[in-house]
Structure 1
Amino acid sequence: MSVAHAMDGPDRPKPLTPAMLRELSARSDLHGALRTFGHYAAIAATGALIWLASSRFGVIWALPLMFVQGFFVAFLFTAVHETAHKTAFRSRALNILVGYVSAFVIALPYEYYCLFHWEHHRHTQDPDKDPELIVGPKPSNETQLAIAYSGLRQLATRVRLMWRHALIGNVTVPWVPENKRALIVREARCYVAGYALLLIASLALHTASLLWVWILPVLLGQLILRPYLYAEHTGCETTRSAFENTRTTYTTAFIHWFAWNMPYHVEHHAYPSVPFHALPKLNRIVDGEIVYRGRGYVAVTRETWSWFRARFAPIDR
C-alpha cells in the first residue's frame, strides 16, 4: 500500500448479514430533525453574535466569529450530501426540502449535486469516470496546491458552472443525462434568481449583514471543508472496493456531529443505504476491515498534501 495506515493481510469477507444491514439502514425523521435543527441553530446563534459584534464594535471584532460561522455554514455540505442519498430522513419530502435549503446556502445546486455524487459512487477513484477526479485539482507546484487546499477555486468553479447553466442553458458535463439537463437549467435559474433577490433586498435596506453573516463565512469555511474532503479518498487505492479506495478518519465528536458522521467514509461508501446516525454502530462492526485509517484531520492533511506534492509534474529543463 502506498499511504500510511494501510492494513496488512488478505481481504476478509464483509461481516454484515442482510438482516444486520436492514436494521442499520432504518431511516429516522427524528434523528434527521434533531441534527438539522442543531446545525441550523448553531448557524443562527453565531450569526446573531456576528451581527451584534459588528454593529456595536465594528466588523474587525467579529472576524473570529466569522471563522466559526464558516465552519458551521460550509459543513452544510454534509447535510446536502446526506439528503442527496435520501437517508437524512425517512420522509423523502424532508430530504428534498433540507437538501434544497442547505444547498442554496452553500451555492451548490441540489439536483446537480445528486447526479454528480451518484456518479462519484458508481466510479469512485476511477480517474476517467469519477467526477471528483475529473474536475479535481492537478497541481504542479506549491502555489497551485495551496490554492487547491483553500477550496476557493472549487467554489468559484461550481458558481461559474451554475451561472453558465442559468444564463446559457447549456449543460454538457457527462454525469448529467440528457433527460435531466432541462431540470438542471431550471434549478440554476432559480438559484441565481434567489441570490439576485437577496442582493436587491440588501441594497434596498442598506445593509451588509448577509455579507458578514453568510457570504464571507462561506468563503472562510472552504479553508476547513476542502482538507476534510481531500481526506476521503486522496492517496487511497484505485480498486472497486470501498475498503481500499476510501479513508475513514477518526476524529472528535464535535467534528463527527457537524459532519453528519461522514468521517466514517469507508462505511458510507461500502454501505450507502446506512443513514448518518447508524454509521458509528456500523464502524464498530467493520472497523477491522478498514484499510486507510486517518488519525485526525491534521495528520491526514499532512498525508494528502505529501501525496499531491509527490505527483507534481516534473519541470522540463
Structure 2
Amino acid sequence: MISIIIPCYNCVSTIKRAVDSVLNQKYQHYELLLVDNRSSDGTIHLLNHYKERFPEKIRVFHEYKRGAPAARNKGLSAARGEWIQFLDADDELHPEKLSRQLDLATNSMAGIVIGNYILEWIKGKKRLHLKRPAMSDPWEGLVTSNLGITSSNLWKKKDLLEVNGWNERLTSSQEYDLLFRLLKNRSEVVFDEAFYTMVYHNRNSTSKSTDKKKLIQIVRNRINLRREIKEYLILTKQLTANMNRTIDTYIYFELKRNSPEIFDYVKEYLKQNQLEVPWNTMIKINSRIALRKLLYYIQGIYNSPSEWDLRRNLS
C-alpha cells in the first residue's frame, strides 16, 4: 500500500486539483491522508467533504504546529502503507505516477524513487513551463538540488522513520536535508526518467524588508547544508576534488544569483570564506546570471527558483 500525505494550509483554491490527481491514479491500493495545518479559509470543510465522499480511502488529521514538515510528520506517524507519497496541496500527479514508481521500487532494493518533474512558474497571467530532470549521481544531485522534489519522489516509510522524518526546525531546504540524512543512512536510490509530477509555483508579493530577511535565511540554509555534506564526505573519505569544486561552485552560484537583493551578506560571506571555483566558471556563472535576469525582466518573471540547470556551470 502507498500512503499519500497532503499537508493543507489555506488551500481551498488548489486542493481539488491535488486530490483529483490522486483519485485518478491507475494504482488504487492507497490511502489518502489530508493533514490540516491551522487553515483559516474553509479548507477543513473541504477536506471533511472529501472524507465523507470517500471514507474508505481518505482520512483527515489536524496538526497545530505550523509548517509543512510538522504536517507531513503527522501523516507519516499515522500512515499504514509501506511506501509514502508526499504531495503538496497545489501540485498534481500523472495518473500512472504511483504505479510506475512502485514498479521501479519493488524491482530494486531502493528506499527512494527519485522522480523528474515539470514546473509551472506563474506570475500573474504569465507562465513559464520548465522540465526539471534529476541527476543520476545521488550525491551530485543532492549538492546541486537536482534530486527530485517533495512531490515527485516516492519514499519508503521504514527508511523515513529510521531518520526521524522531517526536520521541523528548518524553515527551508527541508527536503534536501531529509535526502541528505537518508543517503547518510545508506538508503538506496532508483531514478524514474518519466516526468509524472506537475509542480506549480505562484510568486506572492510581500514587503521587501520581509523578503530580504527570508532570503538571507533561505540562502544560509542552502549553504549550511552543502557545508555539512562536504564535512560528511571528508569524514567518510568520499570527497573528491571534483565534488569539492561542485560544492563550492553551488555555493558561489547561490550567492551570486541572489547578490542584488542581499549584497552585503554575499560580500561578507565571500570575504570570510575561500571558495574553490575556477575563474572561467565564475565568469560563466556571472555572465549567465546577467543574461538570465535580463530575459526574466523582459518576460516579467524574475528570479525564478529554477533559473537554469546548474550543471551547465560545472562543465
Global fold match (TM > 0.5)? no
Greater helix content: 1
User: So what's the TM-score if we normalise by structure 1?
Assistant: 0.24
Between 1 and 2, higher relative CO (CA 8 Å, sep ≥ 6) is seen in 1
What TM-score do the two structures reach when normalised by structure 2?
0.24
